[in-house]
Amino acid sequence: MAKDAIDLQTVSTQPLIVNPISFRLHNVDASEMLQQVLLDYGCEKKLTDFEPYGHDIANNDVCLAISLAWERNRGRQSPFYPYIRSLPEETPCFFTKENDEVRQILQELGTHSHEIERIVAMVDIERALFNDAVKAVVREIPLGKALGVTVKDVMWCFAHVLARRMNDGDDVAHGHIRPALCPVANHESAGLSFELGAGTSRIPGSMDVLVSLLDGVPRPLAAGDELYIAYRSPSGDTYEEQLVNHVEMRGAES
C-alpha cells in the first residue's frame, strides 16, 4: 500500500508495505491435513470416499478454502494472521454477490447490455456448483463440525482462493494462494499490466517489475490502493508473464 499518491515515475521511491507473497499452503498439503482432521475427529473415511464430491474435493481448491477458513477463525493464534488480515472483507468473485450487484458492476465496466444477462446466468450456475461443493465439505463430510467453520466461512475463503491462487506448474495441485488480486480473474478484460520505467534494471536476464491495476486504467494510485507487484525473468514462462501477455492481448482486442 502506498503512503501517498504515486505514479510510474515515483513508485520505486515510495515506501510500500509488502505482504508475504503467498499463504504457501498447497492443495495437496491441505488435503493431507484435512484427512488427519477427519481421523482425529473419529471418522475413518478418506476424503475420496465421500460421494459425489469426495474425489474432486481432495484435489481442488476447496481444501485450501476450508484450511484458510479455519486459520482465519483462529485469529491472532494463527501463524498466518498477518496474511489473512491483509485480505479485504469484500470478496472479489461474482458468485459471492447478488445478481443485481453483478449487473451493476458489469454496467460500470461498460459491458454491453446483451452480454450482461448471459454473464449473470453463468454466475448463477457457478454459484450453485460452488455452494454444493462447499456444503458437501462442511456438512456431509464432517469437517465443519471438526473445525468449527460454517458454509459462509468457507465460501468467503473460497472466493479469495479462486481469485488469488497461483500455479507453480500445470498441475492445479501445486497451487497456492497469493495476497494480490488477479485482475483478469474477476472481471473479463479488466486490469492492466506494464513495466515500470523507474528503478528497473535493464540487464539481460534480470528481474523486471510489473504492476497490475484493477480498474484497467493507468492512473495515480492513492494511499491504501492494493498493488500486485511481481518479479519475473523476461525470458521465463512464469505465471506473471502469462498474465501480462493475456492482459495485453485483451487490451489489443478491445
6 has a pLDDT exceeding 70:
no
Q: How many whole angstroms separate alpha carbon 246 and alpha carbon 48?
A: 35
Q: How many whole angstroms separate alpha carbon 159 and alpha carbon 62?
A: 10
127 has a pLDDT exceeding 60:
yes
Q: Looking at residue 62, what is its pLDDT?
A: 80
- Express each pLDDT in 144-177 by its tens digit: 888 889 988 988 888 877 766 544 333 333 333 3
pLDDT band at 100 (very low <50, low <70, confident <90, very high): very high
64 has a pLDDT exceeding 60:
yes
Higher per-residue pLDDT: 208 or 149: 149
What average pLDDT is seen over the chain? Answer: 61
pLDDT band at 60 (very low <50, low <70, confident <90, very high): low
Name the range with the highest mean pLDDT among 33-37, 104-108, 167-171, 250-254.
33-37
**CB 26, CB 173: distance < 8 Å:** yes
191: left (phi over 0), alpha (psi -120 to 50) or beta: left
Give the mean model confidence (pLDDT) for residues 123-137: 83
Q: How many whole angstroms separate alpha carbon 88 and alpha carbon 156?
A: 10
pTM over 0.75: no
Q: Which residue has the cell 471418522?
A: 43
63 has a pLDDT exceeding 70:
yes
Beta bridge partners of 194: 211
- Express each pLDDT in 47-58 by its tens digit: 777 765 555 555
251 has a pLDDT exceeding 80:
no
Q: Looking at residue 16, what is its pLDDT?
A: 41
Q: Looking at residue 230, what is its pLDDT?
A: 42
Q: Which residue has the cell 475413518?
A: 44
Q: Give the chain's end-to-end CA distance (angstroms, integer).
A: 29
Higher per-residue pLDDT: 163 or 66: 66
